[in-house]
């Protein structure tokens, strides 16, 4: 019987890792390198059909000033347990569970989406219509590969919120007594327009005036945010029986 040398065993092990076949199940100690927000993590947008209305201009920074800032924070550490069944697995971090799949290149992706949506509408026999709807999605994604250096990947948090309002452009005095003379679409919180003297004023939906296109007054506001951090993990010798205490063990970040 031929005994493999240490070098041969190391080479074979490397081939297994490169092939993406390294076992992922077990208890891992993860370290997540958090970063301070820079202000570029979120984007927002407004769509509407208010005639002559526009979003407030972004303030231009005074170029006479140069402002610099620098800060660092320590990473956080936590335990996560992975149970693998072929190319499917589940990652448990604390009380949260993330189903995962392995792609052909060996990358593991564990993710979960939280979704919420709703809608309300009101109509009046005089033909006045008002409707509001919203949709919110929050996604957490942990991805990476297992190799000679352990688990190497990313921790990502994403969120997106959309709110939409629709309302009749004009309505009767009877309806105005109940909903007001400038409607319920919050155009003034997001849009400006010029009045008859050329002064900027908050946009609104006046019940006696044609403020919007023929389809009525429409306003949609969206906001999306995304945060991503480097994540590394080292497999430990702890088992599922140790989960009662490893679940809450770890170190908080310097944030």
Per residue in 87-132, pLDDT tens?
899 999 998 999 999 999 999 999 999 999 999 999 999 999 999 9
Q: Which of 210-214, 229-233, 236-240 has the highest mean pLDDT?
A: 229-233
Q: Is 98 domain-assigned?
A: yes
By residue range, what is the domain housing residue 12? 7-57+78-240
Mean of pLDDT values over 167-196: 95
| 129 in a structural domain | yes
Domain count of the fold of the chain: 1
248 in a domain, yes or no?
Answer: no
Q: Are 197 and 62 in contact (CB under 8 A)?
A: no
Q: With 60 as the cut, is the pLDDT of residue 172 above it?
A: yes
Q: Determine the pLDDT at residue 59.
A: 67
| 245 located within any domain | no
Mean pLDDT of the chain: 88
Residue 1 lies in a domain: no
Look at residue 161 and tell me if it is in a domain.
Answer: yes
20 occurs within a structural domain = yes
What gap in Å lies between CA 106 and CA 17, rounded to an integer? 9
Q: Which residues pair with 223 in a beta bridge?
A: 44, 161
Burial class (CB in 10 A: 0-12, 13-18, 19+), 65: exposed
C-alpha torsion 197→201→205→208, nearest 10: -30
Residue 63 within a domain: no
Task: Supply the pTM of this predicted model.
Answer: 0.80
Report the range of poorest mean pLDDT among 50-64, 128-142, 155-169: 50-64
């Amino acid at each position: 019987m031929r005994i493999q040398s240490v070098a041969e065993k190391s080479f074979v092990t490397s081939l297994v890792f490169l092939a993406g076949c390294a076992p992922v199940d077990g208890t891992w100690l993860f370290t997540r390198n958090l970063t301070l927000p820079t202000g570029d993590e979120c984007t927002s947008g407004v769509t509407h059909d208010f005639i002559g209305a526009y979003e407030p201009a972004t303030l231009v920074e005074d170029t006479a000033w140069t402002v610099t800032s620098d800060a660092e924070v320590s990473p956080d550490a936590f335990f996560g347990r992975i149970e693998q069944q072929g190319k499917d697995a589940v990652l448990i971090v604390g009380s949260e569970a993330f189903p995962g799949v392995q792609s052909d290149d060996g990358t593991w992706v564990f993710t979960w989406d939280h979704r919420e949506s709703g809608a309300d509408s009101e109509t009046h026999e005089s033909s006045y219509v008002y409707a509001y709807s919203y949709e919110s999605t929050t996604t957490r994604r942990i991805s990476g590969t297992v190799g000679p250096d352990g688990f190497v990947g990313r921790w990502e948090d994403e969120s997106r919120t959309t709110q939409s309002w629709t309302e009749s452009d004009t309505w009767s005095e009877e309806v105005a007594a109940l909903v007001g003379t400038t409607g319920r679409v919050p155009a003034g919180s997001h849009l400006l327009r010029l009045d008859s003297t050329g002064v900027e004023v908050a946009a609104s939906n006046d019940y006696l005036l044609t403020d919007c296109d023929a389809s009525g007054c429409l306003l949609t506001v969206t906001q999306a945010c995304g945060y991503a951090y480097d994540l590394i993990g080292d497999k430990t010798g702890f088992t599922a029986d140790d989960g009662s205490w490893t679940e809450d063990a770890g170190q908080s970040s310097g944030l």
